[in-house]
């Protein structure tokens, strides 16, 4: 074990020394070009798929899985969570107000607009964060970002937006562009002892396997959130997926809804603009 670690450390050190930073160090942040390249990469790689097919993740990557998924959608495992979410959403807080008072259009059919950049605060606001803020503003304790209740709420809100295309906006504000860029860098940065980045699986290997799982493409990967994962025997939020993904590659997860994760969600949602919301979803 120790000799291997020393070799790895030495390799990193060498890589650091050998590397010359690209000449265009001060590149302009161009989300429009990024999204175009991102979508083209995946549609080129999977020419038989229509853009909207990408939102079903691994199920579009494998015929047998697809067949099972079609059957499963007739009686989806997320039904119970969705019902719970609807009930939670319609139940008023102790002060008489409800979630509908915190969101545009009473919170119905708006999921495709999240995350958005709040120019007053200068940061990215995700749906999960907005829901907890709504609770706290109305005297309710915040929900855990990685447990069932938040998953149920976001499941209901996603359901009311089903079919609507992702419509993430990046205002012409250097802070928003920077947040977007941070999210993009996070996506491609290797981390954890396994030295994987999100891209390692979801850009380099979609449709291929990691152990027994078929990997989903990065395009459309958040469209089905939140998801009922058979592996979890339950519903999970985007926060849950980001944090567990980190620990799976032996990286200590950050706190749910930390800057890095919100920026990552901002980037991933933006590059999937135009693709329909399919949440809540089911995954292996």
Partner 1 sequence: MSLLKPLLASFLLIAGSACAFAASEADYKAAYAAAEAANKEAGKLRNQWTTTASTLAAAKKAADAGDFDKAIEASKEAEALAKASIYQATSEKQLWKDLEIR
Partner 2 sequence: MASTIRVRATSSGDTTEVQALIQHPMDSGFVKDAKGEIIPAHFIQQLTFEYDGKPVFVADWGGGVSKDPYVKFAFKGGKKGDDLKVSWVDNKGATDTTTAKIV
Could you tell me the two tokens for 26? 């001060």
| CA separation for the pair 86, 230 (Å, rounded) | 22
| CA separation for the pair 201, 57 (Å, rounded) | 12
Quote the least distance from Cβ 22 to partner 2, whole Å: 46
| CA separation for the pair 39, 37 (Å, rounded) | 6
Which CB atom, from 8 or from 210, has the smaller least distance to partner 1? Answer: 8
Which CB atom, from 41 or from 232, has the smaller least distance to partner 1? Answer: 41
SS3 235: strand
Q: Which residue has the tokens 């809540």?
A: 280
| CA separation for the pair 186, 183 (Å, rounded) | 5
Tell me if 38 contacts partner 1 by CB under 8 A.
yes
User: With CB under 8 A as the contact rule, which of the stretches 91-99, 151-159, 170-178, 192-200 interacts with partner 1?
Assistant: 192-200
Quote the least distance from Cβ 166 to partner 1, whole Å: 18
Residue 245 appears among annotated catalytic residues? yes
Q: Which residue has the tokens 């959130």?
A: 225
| CA separation for the pair 254, 258 (Å, rounded) | 7
Please name every residue paired with 18 in a beta bridge, in sequence order, or none if there are none.
none
Which CB atom, from 88 or from 249, has the smaller least distance to partner 1? Answer: 249
| CA separation for the pair 282, 284 (Å, rounded) | 7
Tell me if 15 contacts partner 1 by CB under 8 A.
yes
Could you tell me the two tokens for 279? 């949440």
142 binds, among partner 2, partner 1, none (CB under 5 to 8 A by kind): none
- What binding mask, one character per residue, do residues 224-263 give for partner 1 by CB under 8 A, x or -? -----------------------x--xxx-x-----x---
| CA separation for the pair 89, 134 (Å, rounded) | 11
| CA separation for the pair 39, 34 (Å, rounded) | 9
Length of the chain in residues, anyone? 284
Which CB atom, from 22 or from 141, has the smaller least distance to partner 1? Answer: 22
| CA separation for the pair 238, 226 (Å, rounded) | 6
Tell me if 74 contacts partner 2 by CB under 8 A.
yes
Closest CA to 203 of 216, 193, 190: 216
Tell me if 185 contacts partner 1 by CB under 8 A.
yes
Quote the least distance from Cβ 233 to partner 2, whole Å: 4
2 binds, among partner 2, partner 1, none (CB under 5 to 8 A by kind): partner 1
Closest CA to 107 of 123, 129, 124, 130: 130
Site for partner 2 in 76-105 (CB under 8 A): 77, 79-80, 83
User: With CB under 8 A as the contact rule, which of the stretches 18-26, 79-87, 109-117, 174-182 interacts with partner 1?
Assistant: 18-26
Among 234, 251, 253, 284, binds partner 2 (CB under 8 A): 234
Positions that interact with partner 2 (CB under 8 A) = 71-72, 74-75, 77, 79-80, 83, 230, 233-234
Catalytically active residues are 245
Residues lying near partner 1 in the complex (CB under 8 A): 1-2, 5-6, 8-9, 12-13, 15-16, 19, 21-22, 34, 37-38, 41, 184-185, 188-193, 195, 197, 199-200, 203-204, 247, 250-252, 254, 260
């Amino acid at each position: 074990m120790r000799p291997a670690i020393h070799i790895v450390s030495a390799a990193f050190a060498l890589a650091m020394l050998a590397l010359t930073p690209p000449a265009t160090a001060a590149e302009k942040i161009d989300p429009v070009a990024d999204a175009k390249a991102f979508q083209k990469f995946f549609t080129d790689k999977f020419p038989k798929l229509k853009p909207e097919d990408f939102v079903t993740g691994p199920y579009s990557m494998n015929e047998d899985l697809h067949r099972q998924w079609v059957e499963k959608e007739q009686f989806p495992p997320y039904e119970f969570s969705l019902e719970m979410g609807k009930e939670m959403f319609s139940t008023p807080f102790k002060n008489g107000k409800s979630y509908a008072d915190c969101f545009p259009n009473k919170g119905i059919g708006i999921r495709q607009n999240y995350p958005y950049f709040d120019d007053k605060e200068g940061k990215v606001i995700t749906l999960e964060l907005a829901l907890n803020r709504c609770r706290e503003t109305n005297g309710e304790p915040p929900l855990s970002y990685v447990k069932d209740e938040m998953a149920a709420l976001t499941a209901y809100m996603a359901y009311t937006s089903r079919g609507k295309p992702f419509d993430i906006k990046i205002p012409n504000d250097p802070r928003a562009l920077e947040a977007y860029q941070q999210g993009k860098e996070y996506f491609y940065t290797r981390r954890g002892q396994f030295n994987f980045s999100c891209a390692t699986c979801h850009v380099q290997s979609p449709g291929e396997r990691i152990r027994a799982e078929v990997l989903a493409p990065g395009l459309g990967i958040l469209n089905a959130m939140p998801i009922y994962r058979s592996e979890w025997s339950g519903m999970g939020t985007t926060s849950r997926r980001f944090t567990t993904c980190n620990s799976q590659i032996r990286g200590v997860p950050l706190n749910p809804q930390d800057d890095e994760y919100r920026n990552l969600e901002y980037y991933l949602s933006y590059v999937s603009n135009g693709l329909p919301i399919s949440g809540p979803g089911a995954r292996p």
